[in-house]
């Protein structure tokens, strides 16, 4: 059975049908791309998958569990983590703390144990530091652990967002335009990182991207959205050759 | 008959709250900020009328007009100096600034006019109406307050629907970025909103001080906050909502004062706010706002 | 890698620990100096009378900073929570005055009662409001403060052989001959034992500081800061926003309740009118001037701004006007780059002028320039 099984997902804002009858099936360990022109509804799909928007119809199954219409928090706990198109870091916090917030639900001690500095506080914090530094070193951010998140260069901010999402120990990672604003070198590096994450964390990745070098470089399968509807899907190579897709991107 | 009298007084006070609440609702709808200083502009309007009538012997109606002009200018100046630099700031910073402006107005007035309340002469010279052998008395102030508030609500609704500037205000309140892309001048629209709000506050000042004829530096603060409660009650951002909310809050306050406890009337009004926010946070006529992700 | 990790961790923890310990040492030093000065008779009675209020205001400022600086929400009800703490602890002390005769047992209990009652109110207010937009919290806490003040000012409570009597005016209480009035409406509570001392105030301030710093630098505090920085991202990593907002808000109320207890046991009578909107704003001024999110700054601002008007009586009339301007200027400068640069350039200009002036003074026969 597929890890993510989406059937006939749709949502309307007022009279506008933003996404209609969207279906996708992603196998465990796949690197899947969601592409389409601006305004096609890609981020809206992400927002429905993560519970930011409640879909008006359709079903979302994650690992056999129905998560349709659940809250963002419940969905994160069920195993979906994401990054955002316009980076949303905890800007006034350190790089390390950003990742430690991601670890929040997996390393626990109570507020009282924290305030009164009980043994579990010291023990758990130490474990969290260790785990967070491990994650940061994957993204080569460990040397910048005590920087303020807002002081990181743009590319590092995108990487930190991925690290924070991974810290929540998801089954499925959603990346919303991870290469936006990166130069070709940074993009190439990012591609390696995403592959590394998939291989070493046993991760399934669904990403939205406009950078075709990244899409064709790492995605194994693609779905193309146009005007809120699925235009086509399949292997990356086939989809990118599809004349309909080329028309949708370049116009007539 | 006592109940009817209280009800009339409530509607009279409520009409004044409605005029103040309109200012809150417009500014909140368009600039997305809670303008704490709005209530204190009422006080400034009151002092302008008072000094123009006593020191310069100017006709009451012209005094009110002067107050409207003075407050409109004040509203625009406050927006330009204190709020405009904070367009990109967090709502926390904007709120604290607004509280600062409110305190600035109150304490400037304290230093300029002293802390002793002055006796305000009513600007209304319509005689009271007595019904049922004087058992029910409707004062001229009440009649004027109700008529003026209805005129303002109707006028403002027409202004927003029919004029270009009004529609620009509507567009900015819906989506600032989209409105800007459509060629609407955001800064000018926000300035206009503050100007209208402050002008209305001056009229509210004239009505409030005529009905309750003492004036001091804190005169506007409490009615201002209660009018905000009225705006929330009616649904923030809605013009008719402000009117309905205003009247309801006025009636609740007066009835609470008469039948429950005079000391607790303010507490009752605020308890209504908390209740509304629990039961229907968008108010009677408000809309839900969706945040973009 | 683990070696590198521990190294970086050591680097991480340092600034936080250093920050809190500097504050503790500063407060302890100030306390010791005041105690020495006071025991050698070098403190005027005017300052002596301010020692407990200084602790009260510092605690209030630190606790409000948790909500304003760490949670990023505005509360205007600090005086309301303080009022709850003041009344609850005062009533506890009066009720147990005869059964617990030892003040050093009774007073800590009274303080705890004050704190817990305030925290309960914090939770009751927080539940409906904290899920709404931030501005509503400000207006509801303001409303709450006014409700509390008005209710206590309207309340008459008395006790006699028939039990407790609660009414909205004196006559309705129907107290028997042997009865005593506890709360007398606007006149408030009389006969609160004056248990507050500078030493207890200092201890409470230290407890407040330790709780606050430990809270901020813990798992919960981290979650709260994350919610402040970006609520949508915080939700996306599975944080329950309402829960953490509520915890912070309740903690702020609890600490304000402690301050209220300290305050009410410092004077013989207690009146609700003291806990008005202006008090809440005053505490907010301390927080903003000390730096939003800066705990040490809150203590310094509370102390300086409480002492200054007492020392310089002449500025007392202009005090609130100056505060209001400070609020506006601080906010504009922290949020607007242009304004910040303008202020910096004004400062630089002033510096240049001072240097010029210095040069002129060194030369003879030049008039002083204003």
Helix (H, G, I), strand (E, B) or coil at C366: coil
What is the reported pLDDT for C2? 46
Give Cβ neighbours of residue A96 (< 8 Å, ≥ 6 apart).
Answer: A129, A132, A133, A136, A145, A146, C8, C12
d(CA B125, CA A235): 84
Residue position matching structure tokens 């809670």:
B34
Tell me the pLDDT band of A116, cut-offs 50, 70 and 90: very high
Global confidence as pTM: 0.88
Dihedral in degrees, nearest 10, Cα atoms C199, C201, C203, C206: -140
CB-count exposure of residue A108 (10 Å: 0-12, 13-18, 19+): exposed
| Domain count for chain A | 2
Range of the domain at A29: 1-79+171-252
The answer to whether A80 and A47 have CB atoms below 8 angstroms apart is no
Instruction: List pLDDT tens digits, range C211-252.
Output: 999 999 999 999 999 999 999 999 999 999 999 999 999 999
Q: Same domain, yes or no, for A111 and A187?
A: no
- Provide the mean pLDDT of chain C: 86
Q: Say which range, A219-223, B5-9, B74-78, C240-244, has the weakest mean pLDDT.
A: B5-9
Would you kindly state where each structural domain of chain B is located, as residue ranges?
Answer: 16-221
* Residue in A77, A93, A96 nearest the CB of C226: A93
Dihedral in degrees, nearest 10, Cα atoms B209, B213, B214, B218: -20
Highest-confidence segment of B173-182, B226-235, C106-115: C106-115
Average of per-residue pLDDT across B211-226: 88
What is the reported pLDDT for C369? 46
Average of per-residue pLDDT across B86-103: 88
A112 touches chain C (CB under 8 A): no
Q: Say which range, B22-26, B51-55, C36-40, C162-166, has the weakest mean pLDDT.
A: C162-166
What is the reported pLDDT for A250? 67
Backbone angles phi, psi at B222, to 5 degrees: -65, -50
What is the reported pLDDT for C1? 42
The whole-angstrom distance between C324's CA and the closest CA on chain B is 4
Q: Same domain, yes or no, for A46 and A100?
A: no
The answer to whether C1 and A133 have CB atoms below 8 angstroms apart is yes
Q: Same domain, yes or no, for A219 and A98?
A: no
Domains and CATH numbers, chain C: 31-318 (1.10.3470)
CATH number (domain holding residue A118): 3.40.50.300
Domain stop point among A103, A138, A169: A169
Q: Is B101's CB within 8 Å of C135's CB?
A: no
Q: Is A111's CB within 8 Å of C239's CB?
A: no
Q: Is C321's CB within 8 Å of B107's CB?
A: yes
Q: Same domain, yes or no, for A67 and A124?
A: no
C-alpha dist (Å) from residue A230 to A33, A100, A249, C304: 13, 37, 14, 65
Domain stop point among A169, A191, A209: A169
Please check the confidence at residue C40 and state whether its pLDDT lies above 80: yes
Q: Same domain, yes or no, for A210 and A250?
A: yes
Q: Same domain, yes or no, for A95 and A165?
A: yes
Q: Find the closest chain A residue to C209 by CA distance.
A: A115
Instruction: List pLDDT tens digits, range B114-148.
Output: 888 888 877 777 777 777 777 777 888 888 889 89
What is this model's ipTM?
A: 0.91
Q: Same domain, yes or no, for A29 and A145?
A: no
Q: Find the closest chain C residue to B221 by CA distance.
A: C277
* Residue in B28, B104, B264 nearest the CB of C324: B104
The answer to whether A215 and A32 have CB atoms below 8 angstroms apart is no
C333 touches chain B (CB under 8 A): no
Dihedral in degrees, nearest 10, Cα atoms C22, C24, C25, C28: 160
Q: Same domain, yes or no, for A212 and A243?
A: yes
d(CA C257, CA A187): 54
* Residue in C8, C211, C226 nearest the CB of A133: C8
Q: Find the closest chain C residue to B88 by CA distance.
A: C335
Q: Same domain, yes or no, for A39 and A91?
A: no
d(CA A52, CA B220): 41
Q: Is C240's CB within 8 Å of A73's CB?
A: yes
Q: Same domain, yes or no, for A71 and A185?
A: yes
Instruction: List pLDDT tens digits, range C71-80.
Output: 999 999 999 9
Q: Same domain, yes or no, for A218 and A102?
A: no
Q: Is C327's CB within 8 Å of B263's CB?
A: no
d(CA B172, CA B163): 14
Q: Name the H helices within chain C.
A: 2-39, 45-48, 51-65, 78-96, 103-129, 134-154, 198-216, 219-229, 231-236, 241-264, 277-290, 295-311, 319-335, 337-362
Q: How many Å is the Cα radius of gyration of chain C? A: 24
Q: Same domain, yes or no, for A176 and A247?
A: yes
């Amino acid at each position: 059975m597929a890890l993510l099984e989406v059937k006939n997902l749709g949502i309307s804002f007022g009279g506008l049908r933003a996404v209609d009858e969207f279906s996708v099936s992603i196998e465990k360990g796949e690197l899947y791309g969601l592409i389409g022109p601006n305004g096609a509804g890609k981020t809206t799909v992400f927002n429905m998958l993560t519970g930011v928007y409640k879909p008006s119809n359709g079903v979302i199954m994650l690992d056999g569990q129905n998560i349709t219409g659940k809250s963002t928090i419940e969905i994160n706990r069920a195993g979906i983590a994401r990054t955002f198109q316009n980076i949303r870091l905890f800007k006034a916090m350190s790089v390390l703390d950003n990742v430690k917030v991601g670890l929040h639900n997996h390393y626990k001690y109570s507020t009282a144990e924290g305030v009164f500095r009980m043994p579990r506080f010291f023990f758990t914090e130490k474990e969290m530091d260790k785990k967070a530094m491990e994650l940061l070193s994957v993204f080569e951010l460990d040397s910048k652990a005590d920087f303020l998140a807002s002081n990181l260069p743009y590319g590092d901010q995108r990487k930190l967002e991925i690290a924070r999402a991974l810290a929540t120990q998801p089954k499925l990672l959603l990346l919303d335009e991870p290469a936006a604003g990166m130069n070709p070198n940074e993009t190439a590096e990012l591609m390696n990182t995403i592959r590394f994450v998939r291989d070493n964390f046993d991760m399934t990745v669904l990403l939205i991207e406009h950078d075709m070098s990244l899409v064709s470089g790492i995605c194994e399968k693609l779905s193309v959205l146009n005007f809120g509807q699925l235009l086509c899907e399949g292997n990356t190579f086939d989809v990118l050759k599809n004349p309909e897709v080329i028309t949708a991107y370049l116009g007539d | 008959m006592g109940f009817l009298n209280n009800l009339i007084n409530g509607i009279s006070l409520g009409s004044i709250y409605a005029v103040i609440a309109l200012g809150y609702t417009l500014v909140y709808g368009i600039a997305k900020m809670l303008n704490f200083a709005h209530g204190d502009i009422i006080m400034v309007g009151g002092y302008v009328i008072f000094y123009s009538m006593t020191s310069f012997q100017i006709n009451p109606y012209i005094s009110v007009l002067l107050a409207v002009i003075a407050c409109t200018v004040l509203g625009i100046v406050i927006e330009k100096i204190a709020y405009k630099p904070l367009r990109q700031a967090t709502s926390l910073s904007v709120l604290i600034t607004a509280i600062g402006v409110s305190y600035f107005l109150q304490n400037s007035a304290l230093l300029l006019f002293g802390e002793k309340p002055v006796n305000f002469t009513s600007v209304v010279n319509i005689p009271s109406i007595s019904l049922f052998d004087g058992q029910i008395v409707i004062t001229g102030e009440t009649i004027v307050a109700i008529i003026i508030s209805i005129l303002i609500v109707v006028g403002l609704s027409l202004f927003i629907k029919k004029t270009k500037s009004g529609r620009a205000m509507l567009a900015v309140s819906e989506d600032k970025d989209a409105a800007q892309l459509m060629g609407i001048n955001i800064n000018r629209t926000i300035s206009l909103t503050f100007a209208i709000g402050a002008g209305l506050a001056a009229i509210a000042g004239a009505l409030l001080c005529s009905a309750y004829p003492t004036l001091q530096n804190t005169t506007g603060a409490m009615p201002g906050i209660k009018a905000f409660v009225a705006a929330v009650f009616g649904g923030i951002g809605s013009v008719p909502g402000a009117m309905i909310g205003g009247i309801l809050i006025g009636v609740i306050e007066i009835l609470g004062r008469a039948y429950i406890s005079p000391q607790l009337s303010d507490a009752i009004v605020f308890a209504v706010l908390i209740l509304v926010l629990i039961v229907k946070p968008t108010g009677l006529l408000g809309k839900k706002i969706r945040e973009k992700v | 890698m683990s070696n590198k990790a521990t190294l970086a961790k050591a680097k991480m923890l340092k600034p936080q620990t250093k920050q809190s310990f500097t504050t503790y040492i500063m407060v302890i030093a100030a306390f010791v100096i005041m105690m020495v000065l006071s025991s050698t008779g070098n403190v005027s009675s005017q300052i002596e009378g301010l020692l407990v209020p200084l602790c009260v205001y510092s605690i209030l400022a630190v606790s409000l900073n948790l909500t304003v600086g760490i949670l990023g929400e505005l509360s205007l009800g600090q005086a309301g929570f303080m009022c709850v703490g003041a009344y609850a602890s005062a009533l506890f002390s009066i009720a147990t005055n005869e059964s617990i005769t030892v003040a050093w047992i009774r007073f800590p209990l009274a303080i705890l009662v004050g704190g817990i009652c305030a925290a309960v109110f914090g939770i009751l207010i927080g539940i409906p409001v904290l899920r709404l937009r931030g501005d509503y919290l400000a207006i509801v806490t303001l409303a709450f403060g006014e409700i509390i003040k008005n209710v206590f000012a309207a309340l008459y409570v008395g006790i006699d052989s028939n039990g407790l009597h609660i009414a909205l005016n004196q006559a309705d209480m129907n107290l028997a001959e042997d009865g005593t009035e506890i709360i007398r409406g606007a006149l408030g509570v009389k006969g609160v034992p004056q248990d507050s001392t500078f030493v207890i105030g200092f201890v409470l301030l230290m407890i407040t500081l330790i709780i606050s710093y430990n809270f901020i630098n813990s798992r919960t505090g981290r979650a709260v800061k994350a919610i402040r920085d970006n609520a949508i991202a915080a939700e996306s990593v599975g944080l329950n926003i309402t829960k953490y907002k509520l915890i912070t808000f309740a903690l702020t109320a609890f600490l304000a309740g402690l301050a209220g207890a300290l305050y009410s046991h410092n004077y013989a009578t207690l009146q609700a009118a003291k806990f008005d909107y202006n008090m809440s704003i005053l505490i907010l001024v301390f927080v903003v001037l000390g730096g939003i999110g800066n705990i040490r700054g809150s203590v310094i601002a509370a102390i300086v701004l409480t002492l200054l008007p007492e020392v310089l009586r002449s500025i007392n009339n202009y005090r609130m006007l100056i505060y209001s301007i400070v609020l506006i200027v601080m906010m504009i400068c922290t949020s607007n780059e242009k304004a910040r640069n303008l202020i910096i350039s004004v400062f630089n200009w002033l510096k240049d002028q001072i240097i010029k002036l210095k040069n002129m003074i060194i030369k003879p026969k030049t008039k002083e320039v204003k």
